[in-house]
């Protein structure tokens, strides 16, 4: 342990963690405390016409209100859009990430990854406005689709649920491609070779060897994409018009127009809890499926071992 | 390295389509920056007017200047906080690292809208109820709002850089009786400088782009560029919005190019840093 002298010497004057105190304080004062205040507001109510919040009467009524049928419909729609959007991102990104990580020559991969990141670092709002231009009734796409007869009305593209879904998939696709790419990149090529040598076809090798090994990347991608999708507020505002309302827009309107901070706070808390529950469920589902597949395809070499060694064989198989 | 089999061609074609999809709206914005029409979506012939409108229209100019000023201050602030925190995490880990990592993780995954709606009442509480006047200032609010996620990003990048370097140089400095402060400024800081620069530039681009938090904590008079654009979505988008965005995109790409350069020279792969962020 050659590091020790530095640490001890530094520790005598000033403990090292002091360096993290400014960031810690900053994030506590402007992230943790504001959020606690929101949680506190969510237990209050909107007092009369002009007030925004009051905590004189404490209740869970705002949560009941947030779950009332008007708002609940939008919660459900948001959940569906985010689930479908995340799944679509996964399906679109999977072949591309696999191609980039295993078929493209190694020296070109960096360039492709950089290209995936360019849209991600371009203004989110501007990219979404780009789609608004593409989908607009005066745009070339609407003209073409009307000409061909795929749509009857050039106004049918923009301000729809479909447009919002397209925008969601587009905006978060880089966040799915990158972790998948990293995951595929780390899968040892020799394992695939071994699988093929043992007689498995390419499809079987992909689904039984490569894909299970890339599971951490898949989970990371799903989490990275699903969470911001649930809270998105820009995409529905730009592409959805009145039809594409999502929870984000609902919360925003409680704070900015209805001036009902208590209800808006309750909705925000519900949004966070709902997101967390879905993420935990999805991760456990993926691990569960992986475990089942693993159990089914587990190979024990040799004859059926006596009961006491069976445990060890399983350990070997899992390792 | 791989034969051009049917599957590979199909995979390659799919990847090409994905890239086309990723760049389509960016190309459209680039082309429509030269739109001579009155509204962004309606093409009215080629013209340089949108670019001259940036100079002619004071509201547009003001919003861009507000954004640039905020981005510089937020980036400096986030770099300072994040560098110190990242160094502490890499060099002095202890029981505090666990909770701190959880805090950073929460900051990174919380949807921006939640930050926005939490900060708005908090600034009202601080500025109006407790009479801490700076918190009613639009610039202060924007800088604080933009610094949160950026601090987490800089911390990750600096930590990743330092974990990759062993601490022998700092030990040598300490063995030669340099005081910890001198070691910090003369040894550790130059070592992490590339990561600090990279993190700072990322913080700058993140701030330049921030729409959601900014539109909640916005104070009239200090409207940032994305907030201006976002309100124009409802009132009518004009071609100069595309023109400014194209210019800002060029600035962002230059910044990212510098980041990639610096990281490459300092031996860290861009992918790793991005994965850490």
Q: What is the pLDDT of residue B195?
A: 87
Query: Residue A164: its chain B contacts at CB < 8 A?
Result: none
Return the SS3 of A149. Answer: coil
CB-nearest to B22 from A31, A114, A116 is A116
Residues in chain A, pLDDT under 50: 1-4, 7, 10-11, 310-311, 313-314, 316-319
Mean pLDDT of B176-195: 83
pLDDT per residue as tens digits for the range A231-269: 998 999 999 877 778 899 889 989 888 889 999 999 999
User: Looking at the predicted structure, is the pLDDT value of residue B271 above 70?
Assistant: no
Distance from C-alpha of B37 to C-alpha of A226, rounded to nearest angstrom: 38
Three-class DSSP category at B64: helix
B277 falls in which pLDDT band (50, 70, 90)? very low
Compute the mean pLDDT over every residue in chain A, rounded to the nearest whole number: 83
**Best CA proximity match to B277, nearest among B108, B123, B24, B78:** B108
More confident residue, A132 or B177: A132
Tell me which residue of A166, A147, A27, A23 sits closest to B84, measured CA to CA: A23
Q: How far apart are CA B18 and CA A89, in angstroms?
A: 11
Q: Which residues pair with B35 in a beta bridge?
A: B46
CB contact under 8 A, A37 and B271: no
Tell the CATH topology of B57-276: MetI-like fold (1.10.3720)
CA distance A295 to chain B (A): 29
- Structure confidence by residue, pLDDT tens digits, B110-131: 889 999 999 999 999 999 888 8
pLDDT for res B37:
83
The residue that leads in pLDDT, B202 or B18, is: B18
DSSP state at residue A67: T
* Helix (H) or strand (E) segment spanning residue A175: helix A161-186
CB contact under 8 A, B171 and A231: no
Percent of chain B with pLDDT over 70: 94
Instruction: Decide which of A111 and B274 is more confident.
Output: A111
- Considering only CB atoms, B26 lies closest to which of A16, A28, A127, namely A127
Q: Looking at residue A12, what is its pLDDT?
A: 52
Phi, psi dihedral angles at B81 (to 5 degrees): -65, -45
Of A32, A48, A52, A51, nearest in space to A262 by CA: A52
**Domain A70-295: CATH class, spelled out:** mainly alpha
Instruction: For A147-171, give one letter per residue: b (16+ CB within 10 A) or e.
Output: eeeeeeebebbbbbbbbbbbbbbbb
DSSP three-state, residue B169: helix
CA B151 to chain A, closest CA, distance in angstroms equals 7
Nearest by CB: B111 against A136, A182, A230: A230
Q: Which residue, chain included where needed, has tokens 């200032």?
A: B137
Q: With contact defined as beta carbons under 8 Å apart, do A234 and A130 qualify?
A: no
Tokens of B239: 């071609």
Contacts of B194 (CB under 8 A, 6+ apart): B161, B262, B263, B265, B266, B268
Candidates B19, B23, B118; nearest CB to A35? B118
Q: Which of A31, A176, A232, A249 to mutate to test the interface with B (most CBs of B within 10 A)?
A: A31
Residues of A (145-184) whose Cβ lies below 8 Å from B: 170, 173-174, 177-179, 181-182
CB-based contact B100 A20, cutoff 8 Å: yes
Q: Classify each residue of A199-231 as buried b or exposed e, where b means 16 or more C-beta atoms within 10 Å of its C-beta.
A: ebeeeebbebbbbebbeebbbbbbbbbbbbbbb
Cα distance between residue A155 and residue A243, in whole Å: 13
Distance CA(A117)–CA(A319), nearest Å, equals 35
> Which SS3 state, helix, strand or coil, does residue A41 take?
helix
Pick the closest to residue B98 from A17, A224, A279 (CA basis).
A17
Tell whether A192 lies on the interface with B, counting CB pairs under 8 A.
no
Q: What pLDDT score does A307 carry? A: 54
pLDDT in tens, B244-255: 989 988 888 887
What 3-state class would DSSP assign to B238? coil
What's the burial of A139, exposed, middle or buried (CB within 10 Å: 0-12/13-18/19+)?
buried
Residue A92's pLDDT is what?
96
Residue recorded with tokens 């998105």 = A232
What pLDDT is recorded for position A308? 53
Task: Tell me: pLDDT of B136 over 80.
Answer: yes
Residue contact B85–A23, C-beta within 8 A: yes
Closest-CA residue of chain B to A267:
B114
Question: What confidence tens digit (pLDDT) does each residue in B212-260 have?
Answer: 999 999 988 899 999 999 999 888 888 889 999 899 888 888 877 887 7
Task: Give the integer Cα–Cα distance in Å for B40 and B165.
Answer: 50
Domain boundaries, chain B: 57-276
Q: What is the pLDDT of residues B49-66, one digit of tens each?
A: 888 888 888 888 899 999
Residue-level pLDDT at A302: 63
């Amino acid at each position: 342990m050659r590091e020790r002298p530095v640490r001890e010497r530094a520790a005598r004057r000033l403990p090292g963690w002091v360096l993290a105190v400014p960031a810690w304080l900053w994030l506590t004062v402007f992230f943790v405390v504001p959020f606690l205040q929101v949680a506190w507001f969510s237990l209050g109510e909107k007092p009369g016409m002009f007030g925004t919040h009051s905590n004189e009467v404490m209740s869970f009524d705002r949560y009941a209100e947030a779950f009332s049928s008007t708002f609940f419909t939008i919660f459900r729609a948001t959940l569906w859009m985010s689930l479908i959007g995340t799944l679509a991102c996964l399906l679109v990104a999977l072949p591309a990430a696999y191609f980039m990580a295993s078929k493209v020559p190694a020296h070109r991969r960096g360039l492709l990854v950089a290209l995936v990141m360019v849209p991600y670092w371009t203004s989110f709002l501007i990219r979404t406005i780009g789609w608004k231009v593409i989908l607009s009734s005066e745009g070339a796409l609407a003209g073409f689709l009307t000409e061909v007869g795929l749509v009857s009305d050039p106004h049918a593209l923009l301000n729809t649920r479909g447009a919002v879904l397209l925008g969601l998939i587009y905006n978060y696709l880089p966040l799915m491609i990158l972790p998948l790419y990293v995951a595929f990149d780390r899968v040892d090529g020799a394992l695939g070779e071994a699988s093929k040598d043992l007689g498995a076809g390419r499809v079987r090798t992909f689904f039984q060897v490569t894909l299970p090994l890339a599971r951490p990347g898949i989970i990371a991608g799903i989490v990275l994409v699903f969470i911001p999708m649930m809270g998105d507020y820009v995409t529905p505002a730009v592409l959805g018009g009145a039809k594409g309302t999502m929870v984000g827009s609902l919360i925003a309107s409680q704070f900015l127009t209805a001036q009902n901070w208590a209800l808006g706070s309750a909705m925000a808390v519900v949004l966070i809890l709902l997101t967390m529950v879905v993420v935990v469920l999805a991760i456990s589902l993926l691990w569960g499926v992986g475990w089942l597949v693993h159990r089914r395809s587990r190979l024990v070499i040799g004859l059926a071992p006596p009961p006491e060694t069976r445990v060890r064989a399983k350990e070997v198989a899992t390792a | 390295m791989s034969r051009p089999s049917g599957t590979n061609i199909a995979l390659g074609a799919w990847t090409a389509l994905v890239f086309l999809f990723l760049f389509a709206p960016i190309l459209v914005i680039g082309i429509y920056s030269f739109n001579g029409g009155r509204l962004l979506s309606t093409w009215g012939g080629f013209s340089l007017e949108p670019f001259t409108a940036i100079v002619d229209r004071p509201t547009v100019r003001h919003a861009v200047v507000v954004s640039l000023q905020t981005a510089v201050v937020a980036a400096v602030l986030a770099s300072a906080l994040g560098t110190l925190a990242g160094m502490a995490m890499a060099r002095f880990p202890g029981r505090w690292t666990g909770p701190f990592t959880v805090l950073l993780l929460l900051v990174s995954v919380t949807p921006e809208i939640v930050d926005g709606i939490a900060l708005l009442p908090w600034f009202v509480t601080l500025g109006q109820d407790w009479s801490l006047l700076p918190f009613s200032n639009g610039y202060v609010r924007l800088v604080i709002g933009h610094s949160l996620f950026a601090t987490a990003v800089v911390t990750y990048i600096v930590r990743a850089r330092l974990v990759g370097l062993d601490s022998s140089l700092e030990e040598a400095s300490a063995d030669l009786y340099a005081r910890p402060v001198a070691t910090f400024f003369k040894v550790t800081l130059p070592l992490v400088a590339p990561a600090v620069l990279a993190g700072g530039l990322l913080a700058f681009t993140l701030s330049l782009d921030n729409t959601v938090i900014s539109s909640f904590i916005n104070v009239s008079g200090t409207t940032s560029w994305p907030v201006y654009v976002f309100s124009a979505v409802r009132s009518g988008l004009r071609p100069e919005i595309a023109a400014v965005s194209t210019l800002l995109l060029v600035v962002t790409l230059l910044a990212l190019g510098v980041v990639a350069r610096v990281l490459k020279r300092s031996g860290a792969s861009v992918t790793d840093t991005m994965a850490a962020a």
